[in-house]
Amino acid sequence: MSENEKLTEERIFEAAEIVFEEEGLAGARMQTIADRAGINKALLHYYFRTKDHLFEAVFTKLAKKMFMKFTPIFEKDLSLEEKIRFFFREHITFMQQNPKLPGFILNEINHNPQRIQKLIKNIDFKYLWLTILEHHENELYKYNLTEETLPQILTSIASMSVFPFAAKGILEVVFENLGVDFDKYIELRKEFAADFVIKAITR
């Protein structure tokens, strides 16, 4: 019963993750999710009252899954360069396993920015910056890292890893034309992106 319940709710949730990720909130159909979970459509509403409830649950979990991959880097005891290399390796590997996640999250946030607000509103970015200051005080000059350059540098790092997946649909077509394999390109990117960024920010 409680065993079975977990199973059913889990099956629904997993089906919803796949369908929402593929079709988006507007494109997803409750019937499709029910079919994929192998259950009646009414049972969907028994566990998650409305489509919005179900989507909210799925989105929150997936968004956290995504952003959680960003923060732990700040806490590691590594040099800045090692942190950058570590980030690209870990983050790109994670996206290899969830290639549709970046596009899904970016799109849904653009369609409804309030959704992300409550997820990251309680993160204190100023504190994060102070942590960097503290841990890497002697490296700041070497990398020309100031409070002013920080937004540019951080978004550059994020873009280098996220963009290839957010633009996967285009890149695969372009690469085919060039005889380049997308998966190999991604594998190479783990190191290329790290080299690229470190070279760019080192004085």
Q: Work out how close the CB of 118 gets to DNA at its nearest, in angstroms, rounded to a whole number.
A: 21
Q: Of 161, 164, 158, 159, which Cα lies nearest the Cα of 182? A: 164
By CB under 7 A, name the binding residues for DNA: 1-2, 4-5, 8, 28-31, 39-43, 45-46, 49-52
Q: Are 44 and 23 in contact (CB under 8 A)?
A: no
Helix axes 30-37, 2-27, angle to 10 degrees: 140
Q: What is the dihedral of CA 88, 93, 98, 102, to 10 degrees?
A: 10
Q: Is 200 in the site for a copy of itself (CB under 8 A)?
A: yes
The distance of closest approach from Cβ of residue 15 to DNA in the complex, given in angstroms and rounded to an integer, is 13
Contacts of 149 (CB under 8 A, 6+ apart): none
Check residue 151 for interaction with a copy of itself (CB under 8 A).
yes
Q: Which of 30, 43, 57, 158 binds a copy of itself (CB under 8 A)?
A: 158
- 4 touches a copy of itself by CB under 8 A: no
For residue 112, the minimal CB distance to DNA (Å) is 16
Instruction: Identify the CA nearest to 61 among candidates 23, 112, 111, 10.
Output: 10
Residues present in the chain in total:
203
- Candidates 5-13, 32-40, 76-84, 147-155 — which segment interacts with a copy of itself by CB under 8 A? 147-155
Please state, in angstroms and as integers, the Cα–Cα distance from residue 80 to each residue in 123, 137, 141, 202, following that order. 21, 10, 12, 11
**Residues contributing to the site for a copy of itself (CB under 8 A):** 23-27, 100, 103, 106-107, 109-111, 113, 116-117, 120-121, 123-126, 129, 149, 151-152, 155-156, 158-160, 162-164, 166-175, 177-178, 180, 185, 188-189, 192-193, 196-197, 199-201
